[in-house]
Structures are given as structure tokens and as C-alpha cells.
Copies of this chain bind each other. A is one copy, B any other.
Amino acid sequence: MGPGPITADPRVLRAMSAQLVGQFDPSMTAYMTETMALYRAVFRTTNQQTFLVDGTSRAGIEAALVSLIEPGDRVLVPIFGRFGHLLVEIAERCRAEVHTIEMPWGEVFEPETVERAVRAVSPKMLATVHGDTSTTMCQPLADIGRICRDNDVLFYCDATASLGGNTFELDAWGLDVATAGLQKCLGGPSGSAPISISPRAVDVINARKNVEAGIREHQDVAHGSRIASNYFDLAMIMDYWGDRRLNHHTEATTMLYAARECARLLVAEGIDRAVERHRRHGAAMLAGVRGLGLTVFGDVAHKMHNVVAVEIPTGLDGDAARAALLNDFGIEIGTSFGPLHGRVWRIGTMGHNARKEAVLLTLAALEQVLRAGNVPITAGGGVGAAQEVYAS
């Protein structure tokens, strides 16, 4: 019940025990094509270039940034938590000229603030996180998308923590590239990074296409400045997922099975219904921790559905309480990073864990641990408040 990685959906686990097939076996390439269509539904996009990057979530981020950014390009990053700092870090290593604006942890940006910065900086790209798990905040993106379009700025978003559990509209919000991971609301393991790329971003990337020696063919003329990473060279990776089937790498077969199954489950449930499920169980958890008498951190109106940050009660050893939850009740919750480390717990309700029994068991166990730690609590107040949400 932490902020992710989470326990996987049992159906995803089962998919991962399937035997492997060859890289260019027609059934494998058919799975790849099917997976592309499934993630178009998940990202809410018509982007042809929607596929997987083989690695953890930050592999998707780095692939997007290193393929789009050329050294010296200006990049604007609005920071409202740890993962904004990560975007800065990666953009700097791509040798971008990085400009930042920052909000205190626990808040999000107003569109006007972003618009002023875009006008002042005139970046090639704006890169932001959608939901930053470090603070639980979810940045509204529709206005930022409009600002980026109006100012001809490429708009990248890291949707790892939010996708599948919160409304996300890649096309309607005017995003150019979004990336994610399986280990949050998608209910799978870390290790595969879904990505979707708009036609105009595809053009920027393909203007730098340099097919590697060893698999280069006659028609492959080198274009533009070579992308600094071979592994994350989206121009070649798109040709691996496309009709050409360029042999850039050997697709991580089992992780493809996992990513495909995560999206199949989400599409079968319906994206809107999955978001509503996360909203509902998130609301129950929020009411529950408040019902126990705990204080919630941050601007709750902008909280992601799937995670809540709770102030650790004064005088309680937060890590000892987490250890008791894990060792005595088999339930894991998280702390946070930087200024929030040791100050908040983060409790998730995402993917397969966005279930009534998971919420109620967590609240029941947390009550016991708080009581054992001599924290003044309302007995039964957590489960009771959550039950009221479920009954309404």
C-alpha cells in the first residue's frame, strides 16, 4: 500500500509466466502491434508512435528527452517535487540550457505562472511531471498544453504516477510526448515504460535519424545531430516497432507480456471506470486517515487519486511504525524524499490495491500501530469514515 511499486494484479503475474516467443515470430510482432493500440487507448491518443521503452520509468523519460533535446536547446521545467528535479537532471545531462520555476512541495502551478515563464524563456520544450508521488500533487495540464501550442513549445510530461488512476488526455490536452511505468495505477511491475509521441515530435526526432552501423542499409542516410544515446534512440526504436522491424534491440518479451496485460485489463474495465475506481478508493483512504485523527499533507484539492501523504504524528517514530505495519501486518507504506523525508507517510491506493478490502485492512492495521505508539486516535474512526465513503 505504498506509493508504488505495488502488488501486481494476479492476471499480470500469470501473463508473465507465459513461454517466450522469438523476436520476429509473427505472434510476437502481433503482440507488439496490439500493445501499441492498447496504449493509445490508455494515453487517450491517436498517436501512431505509441509503444514501450525497455527499462524502468526513468528510461522512458530519458528516451524522450535525449531524443528531442539537442545540446544548447532551452528547456523549461516547472518543479513541484522530487521528480521535477529529476527532469532537470536528465535535461542537463542532455546538455540542454535548463530553466526552472518552483512551487513549494504540496502545491501545484497556476497556468499564469507557467505562461509568464514560457514567454520569458522561449524554450524548445517544456517538461513537467503530471503527478509527483513525492508530494502526491497532480498538476493540471490542459492550460499548459494550450500555452505550449500558442508558443510553439514541445510539451513533455512524465505520467508515471498518475496514468490509469487520474484523468489523462494526451491529445485533448495538447501533449507532444508522455511516458509512464507499470508499477503504479497500471498494476504491474517496474521495468517497462510506455511512451506516446505526437507527429510533430516524431518529425523532430526523425530529423536526427542515424541508423547504427551493422544494421544500416542503402537507404539510410544520416540526418542531423546524432542522438547521444544508442539505447534511447527513439528514431531507431520507432523503426523496430514499425513495419521496418529494424533490429535495434531484442524486445524484453516478458515485460511486453506484462505491459500488454496491464493495458488489456484497463481497457476491459474502461479507462473512465478505472479512474473512478481510483477516485473512490482514494477518497475512502483520505477519509479514513482523517477519521483516525491524522493530518493530511498538501493541497488536497490537487492530490492524485491514488496516493495520500499523511503527517507523521508528533512524537512517533515514523520508520518504526512503518516497520511494525510491514512486519506484523504485512502491509508496506512509504515515507518521502528531501524535505518530506521522515515528515510524512505516503499511502497508496492504486492498481490492484485500489480495492475496498485493501483500504479497510490498511486502516484497521494502522489504527493498531498508532495505538501501540500511544498516538491519540479515534477508535474505529478510520474504517468507519472509509465505510461511509463506500456507502455514499
Contacts and interface: CB of A to CB of B under 8 A. Distances in A.
Contacts of A390: none
Contact of A252 (B86, B250, B255): B255
B8 A22 contact: no
A214 interface: yes
Contacts of A62: 229-231
B189 A59 contact: no
Interface in A322-345: 326, 332, 334, 337-338
A349 interface: no
Which of A20, A84, A86, A229 has the most chain B CB within a 10 Å cutoff? A20
A337 B5 CA distance: 39
A231 to B, nearest CB: 5
Contacts of A337: 214-215, 247
Interface in A1-44: 2, 4-8, 10, 13-14, 16-23, 25
Interface stretch (A88-96, A275-283, A377-385): A88-96
B25 A19 contact: no
Interface in A194-229: 212-215, 226-229
A338 B2 contact: no
A82 interface: yes
Interface residues on A, range: 35 or more
Q: How many copies does the complex hold?
A: 2
A17 B17 contact: yes
A247 B214 CA distance: 36
Contacts of A181: 250
Contact of A13 (B19, B83, B247, B326): B19
A251 interface: yes
Nearest to A181: B250
Interface string A74-111: 00000000111110111011000000000000000000
Contact of A255 (B18, B59, B254, B326): B254
Contacts of A226: 92-93
Nearest to A213: B85
A338 B249 CA distance: 16
